[in-house]
Structure 1
Amino acid sequence: MTDIDTILATDFDAYVDNQLDVAGRLRVESYLARHPAEAARVMADLEMRTMLRLALAPQPASGRPETREAARRLSSALAGRRMWAALQRAAAVAVLVSAGWLANSSLGTREVVASVHPPVFVEEAVRAHQTSLVRAGMPSQPEVKTYDREDIRAATAIVMPELPKDWQVADVQIFPSEYGPSVETSIRTRDGTQISLFAVRPGHFAVEQVKNLNLADAEAAWWQLGEVAYAIISSAPNTGLSDEAELLKNSLY
């Protein structure tokens, strides 16, 4: 058994809190390089600690003093590993909502319904939608209009929603993502609205209701059912995609 194999839970805590010397950090990082699951957990801890430090940093226009005081108390409490795992997700949301950061994501968000921070796969959905618009204007890129749910499921392990019969499929494409292939389908709805339906396995299990947000130059609605997450994107803000999202979501049951 090598020295790398003797990593303890307290070593991870010290690594996150930057309490190890160079040799200690190298030992932990060597271990994490061989254990992806532990590495993902430690990275989540580091992200949480960084967000707390940002919340505690002096920022004249970033929230009320009681918000920073609450973050300070939470940071002290998180020193215990048992409380860290239980509180990290709730703490991140609470601090960010109080600081008012959730309305300024990298996507150019103008308004987020219920102050919900869009997950990473929504950014992927927007990029896939934009790519599909580029493809649509290129005669050299033939469109694939066959929406075969069983074929997609067999190839990607992604269950696609059943589309209304009066929706027209313009293109179906497979895109890479962090946890495997994703599916982007360009669709024209009954009223002529051009949207993209995006589906991906985000790497975690959840059951999330439909959420909606307006971007600087688009709109998105998303939800998650089990191990697959879905999003529909429109290039026109304020299109109102919640009804379409609910319709597609209900077809999966």
Structure 2
Amino acid sequence: MTNDPVLESDLHAYVDDQLDVARRIEVEAYLSQRPQAAAQVMADLRIRDELRLALAERRSPAEPKTREAAGRLQRSLAWRRVYGTLQRVAAVLVFIAAGWAGHAYFGPFGAKEVVASVQPPAFVDEAICAHKTSLLREKMPSQPEVSGYDPDDIRSATAIVLPPLPQAWRVVDMQIFPSAYGPSVELAVQPRAGERLSLFALRPGSFAVQQPLPIHKNEVQAAYWQIGDVAYALVADKASADELTETARRLARSLH
């Protein structure tokens, strides 16, 4: 992690998949506190994916749909690059001014470096608790797992929208849990033999657009995100942070 401020150029690089994992996490933490900027980035990501999909389907770059997607992305990023240049100049001036002020007040060795960490929201703890409960139920013959579920029924009863699952995933259990925010949904799934993940969703009572962020806590790996008024977490006992976060990103994109 770094203490560098997130500038407009970082947002361009984020859209273009040109950041390393550490910097992506910093950018996503920045966006999680700024819904308007996050919404713009999500729109650029959608346009980028539309363009990639058009090219993947072997459409000619001259076809109207491809031209339109490319044009929208180019116009959006072009304006933001101009704005980003001005922002970088302002940031440099601010740091110069802060440096002189700090030197005058503290002296050359008075300031101490402070590294802040982003704390995950409370629903992540609930997701981890639901995952561990699901693993406990798996070992209890008296507690049969419920493999059938209806996303429309869940949405009607809880107002929680679940992302469409990959075809290879098998649902092995579904439970409705109480939470501090109301009902929550936990799906236990098997992406492949010997692997078990929990997809957790609830309405946290706030609106945000946040890309998936990884976290290692209580001996499990998780990735959490929020789209609108529904928050999600993907939890696993055995998974790499990068792989789980990328899986969470694919699920998040499927909701747009």
- After TM superposition, the structure 1 = structure 2 runs for residues 20-99 of structure 1, keeping only pairs within 5 Å, are 99=114
- The code of the aligned residue for 2:132 comes to Q
Q: 2:251 matched to 1:248?
A: yes
- The code of the aligned residue for 1:160 comes to L
Structure 1 runs not aligned, ≥5 long: 1-65, 71-97, 103-115
**8 Å contact kept, 1:158–1:199:** yes
Pairwise CA distance, 1:216: 4.7
2:212 matched to which residue of 1? 210
Pairwise CA distance, 1:152: 0.5
**8 Å contact kept, 1:153–1:159:** yes
Distance 1:158 1:219 in 2: 23
Distance 1:198 1:226 in 2: 16
Aligned to 1:200, which of 199, 202, 207?
A: 202
Q: CA RMSD in A?
A: 2.1
Q: What is the TM-score when the length of structure 2 is the normalising length?
A: 0.53
**8 Å contact kept, 1:217–1:237:** no
Distance 1:140 1:101, change over 3 A: farther
- The code of the aligned residue for 2:244 comes to L
**8 Å contact kept, 1:199–1:229:** yes
Distance 1:216 1:238, change over 3 A: farther
Distance 2:248 2:138 in 1: 23
Distance 1:225 1:191 in 2: 30
| Residue aligned with 2:128, SS | helix
- The code of the aligned residue for 1:135 comes to R
Distance 2:250 2:172 in 1: 19
Q: Deviations over 1:171-207 (max 9, x none)?
A: 0000001121000010111364211000011110000
**8 Å contact kept, 1:214–1:237:** no
**8 Å contact kept, 1:215–1:237:** no
Q: State the identity as a percent.
A: 51
Q: Deviations over 1:140-185 (max 9, x none)?
A: 1111101311011011000001001110111000000112100001
| Residue aligned with 1:229, SS | strand
Distance 2:114 2:160 in 1: 36
Distance 1:186 1:216 in 2: 18
**8 Å contact kept, 1:217–1:236:** no
Pairwise CA distance, 1:242: 1.1
| Residue aligned with 2:162, SS | coil
Distance 1:138 1:191, change over 3 A: closer
Distance 2:208 2:184 in 1: 17
1:119 matched to which residue of 2? 121
2:174 matched to which residue of 1? 172
| Residue aligned with 2:134, SS | helix
Tell me whether 191-200 or 232-241 shows the greater mean CA deviation: 232-241
Structure with the larger RCO, 1 or 2 (CA within 8 Å, 6+ apart): 2
- The code of the aligned residue for 1:218 comes to V
Q: 2:139 matched to 1:137?
A: yes
Aligned to 1:227, which of 229, 234, 247?
A: 229
- The code of the aligned residue for 2:212 comes to V
| Residue aligned with 2:120, SS | coil
**8 Å contact kept, 1:125–1:233:** yes
Pairwise CA distance, 1:236: 2.2
Distance 2:162 2:238 in 1: 24
Q: Deviations over 1:91-123 (max 9, x none)?
A: xxxxxxx74463xxxxxxxxxxxxx32110101
Distance 1:99 1:203 in 2: 32
